[in-house]
Each structure stands twice: as structure tokens, then as C-alpha cells.
């Protein structure tokens, strides 16, 4: 972009937005600055479609994540996803099932109640969430997605006490995304291994969070409509520079909310999964064009939550 920025200066325009952010010197254990995550991969057929599309487009996929919840998957479906993950040596991340928006409470749907997000309501739902974890871990899962502060703390303590595998990755959802350094550091202190920050943060705000935590940042380069619909592909080079180590995630604007998923909308889910991989290809081309020296983590990295 240097040529374009130089021309802007010749006509009296600023060449960039002000407030340059410091470069992150933090990296994944393998030295990589960024990885690719395909979200909303809702079951074995969706995962198979992701990998087929990725192979056709030459897109590396380090992690897939699921959003409908472990609760709404059969043992066979979980095992099917984990078997694919083991074969490909990639991280398979599954969401805990109970959440406020599935429950009988109304506050999560009220205009002033959106902050409730995907929290768990009551002690029973905490128990149900832990049962989700126990069940999936027993089948071989090694990466869980949480959206509640309390269950993050509980799972973190269970892992530390040996009640859950020591290599279990705990990923926090965009639905509890920290918007400031103190909140991000709190999540990390409770056991979060990888933290999804809001997609509407400015680069200086993201830089401030990066300075406060060691954990990888998860970031929707394209955010689904229900979390804002932001599209930030041209900012990828700066996101990598400022926020490394970072998981670049690809949601889809102008697409239906498919949670909870199931066979009744499976064809739609698979089509959306394939399109997310196409979006990742767009990101790859942006990186090749504007920051070709940025280091992508190799596939099959040892610190991924690869199924046991």
C-alpha cells in the first residue's frame, strides 16, 4: 500500500489514520503470528465440507469451532467430528450447550438485557454445562468453547485439579468478549487459553488488550450480522502486526443464524461452511498482497486442541 499512501501525501491527505500501534512481539509456540479458524462448523458433514473446500482452494485450517452446543449433538456426531480432527491433526472446538437464549428466561431477549448474552442461569445450568464438558472430553474432545464467566472459572479449576485433562483448551466466546485490557486479563486468570475480543474494537484498543495478555486473540475478520456484521479484510495486515498471536475467524454477513443447527437446515449450514472457507481464501490473498512476510503457524501445531 506504500505507493497509494505516498500519493495521498502529494495531494495533501494523511497517508494513514493517526495513533500508530506498537508491533506485538508475542507469538504462538511455533513462532507463528496467525492461524485460521472456520467457525460455525456444525457437525461431521459440515466439517467434511470445510476440508473439501479448503483442499480445493488451498486454504489451511488450524481450528474449526461449533456453535449449537454439545448438548444438541449425538455421541456419534461428536465422535465423527473428533475422528476427522484426529486424522487431520487439527483442533475441533465445541460449544457448551445450555445458554440463556435457549432457556425459559426472558431477560436475554429484552432491549436492556442483551448483556446477559449466553450466560448460564442458575446452579443447575452450571452442572449441565460441566456435564457437557465431561461427556465430550470422554469421547476425546480437547477444546471447549465457553460463554459464561462462572463456568470458565469452574472448568479452569477442574482442569487444574486433574478433574479434566491438563491439555484441554478453554476458548472464550465472542458473546462474552472483553472490551478492555482488565477484562481480558481477568478471563486469562480464570483459565482462558484463547480469547475472542469484540470485532468492533479499534486497533489501538486491540493493542491495549494484547499488551495485557499472553493468550492468543480470536477475531472475526467478518462478523455475523448478530454481532455487528463488520467486514475488516483490509485491516488483516495490521491486525496480525498488532494482535499476534491471532486466530483470524470468518463469519458471514447477510446469512441466517443457524443455531441451534440440525438436519432440518443441514444443506444451508454446509453451504455457509463452504463460503466461510472462500472468505478465508480472500484473507490469504490479502496477506500475500500486503504482508507476505507474516508468519502463519504450520498446520498440526502441537499446542492445538487436537482430539485425543
H-type helices in the chain, by residue range? 2-10, 44-57, 75-88, 122-139, 149-160, 181-189, 203-212, 236-243, 266-290
Question: In the CATH hierarchy, which top-level class contains the domain 25-290?
Answer: alpha beta
Cα separation of 129 and 135, whole Å? 10
pLDDT digits (tens, 9 = 90+) for 177-197: 899 998 999 999 999 999 999
Q: Taking the CB of residue 204, how many other CB atoms lie within 10 A of it? A: 14
Domain boundaries, the chain: 25-290
pLDDT digits (tens, 9 = 90+) for 49-96: 999 999 999 999 999 999 999 999 999 999 999 999 999 999 999 999
- Name the nearest CA neighbour of 241 among 287, 281, 283: 287
Do 8 and 35 touch, CB atoms closer than 8 A? no
Cα separation of 233 and 282, whole Å? 8
Cα separation of 54 and 88, whole Å? 12
Q: Which residue has the cell 432440518?
A: 264
Cα separation of 27 and 297, whole Å? 9
pLDDT tens track, the chain, 308 positions: 899 989 988 988 778 776 789 999 999 999 999 999 999 999 999 999 999 999 999 999 999 999 999 999 999 999 999 999 999 999 999 999 888 777 777 676 666 555 566 889 899 999 999 999 999 999 999 999 999 999 999 999 999 999 999 999 999 999 998 999 989 999 999 999 999 999 999 999 999 999 999 999 999 999 999 899 999 999 999 999 999 999 999 999 999 999 999 999 999 999 999 999 999 999 999 999 999 999 999 999 999 999 99
- Name the nearest CA neighbour of 198 among 263, 251, 234, 150: 251
Cell for 83? Answer: 475422528
Give the predicted TM-score (pTM) of the model.
0.92
Residue 260: asked if its preceding bond is cis (omega within 30°), the reply is yes
Amino acid at each position: 500500500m506504500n505507493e497509494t499512501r505516498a500519493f495521498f501525501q502529494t495531494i495533501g491527505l494523511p497517508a494513514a489514520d493517526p495513533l500508530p500501534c506498537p508491533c506485538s512481539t508475542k507469538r504462538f509456540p511455533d513462532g507463528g503470528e496467525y492461524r485460521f479458524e472456520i467457525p460455525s462448523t456444525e457437525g461431521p458433514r459440515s466439517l467434511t465440507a470445510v476440508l473439501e473446500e479448503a483442499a480445493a482452494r488451498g486454504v489451511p485450517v488450524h481450528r474449526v469451532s461449533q456453535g449449537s452446543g454439545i448438548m444438541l449433538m449425538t455421541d456419534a456426531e461428536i465422535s465423527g467430528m473428533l475422528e476427522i480432527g484426529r486424522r487431520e491433526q487439527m483442533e475441533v472446538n465445541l460449544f457448551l450447550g445450555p445458554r440463556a437464549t435457549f432457556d425459559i428466561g426472558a431477560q436475554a431477549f429484552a432491549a436492556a438485557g442483551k448483556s446477559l448474552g449466553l450466560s448460564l442461569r442458575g446452579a443447575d445450568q452450571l452442572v449441565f454445562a460441566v456435564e457437557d464438558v465431561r461427556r465430550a472430553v470422554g469421547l476425546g474432545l480437547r477444546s471447549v468453547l465457553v460463554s459464561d464467566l462462572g463456568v470458565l472459572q469452574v472448568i479452569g479449576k477442574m482442569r487444574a485439579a486433574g478433574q479434566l485433562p491438563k491439555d484441554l483448551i478453554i476458548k472464550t466466546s465472542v458473546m462474552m468478549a472483553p472490551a478492555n485490557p482488565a477484562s481480558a486479563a481477568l478471563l486469562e486468570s480464570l483459565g482462558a487459553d484463547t480469547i475472542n475480543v469484540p470485532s468492533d474494537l479499534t486497533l489501538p484498543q486491540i493493542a491495549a488488550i494484547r499488551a495485557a495478555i499472553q493468550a492468543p486473540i480470536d477475531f472475526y475478520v467478518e462478523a455475523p450480522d448478530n454481532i455487528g456484521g463488520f467486514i475488516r479484510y483490509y485491516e488483516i495486515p495490521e491486525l496480525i502486526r498488532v494482535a499476534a498471536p491471532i486466530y483470524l475467524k470468518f463469519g458471514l454477513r447477510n446469512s441466517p443464524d443457524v443455531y441451534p443447527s440440525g438436519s432440518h437446515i443441514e444443506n444451508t449450514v454446509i453451504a455457509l461452511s463452504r463460503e466461510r472457507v472462500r472468505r478465508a481464501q480472500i484473507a490469504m490473498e490479502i496477506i500475500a498482497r500486503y504482508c507476505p512476510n507474516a508468519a502463519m503457524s504450520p498446520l498440526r501445531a502441537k499446542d492445538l486442541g487436537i482430539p485425543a
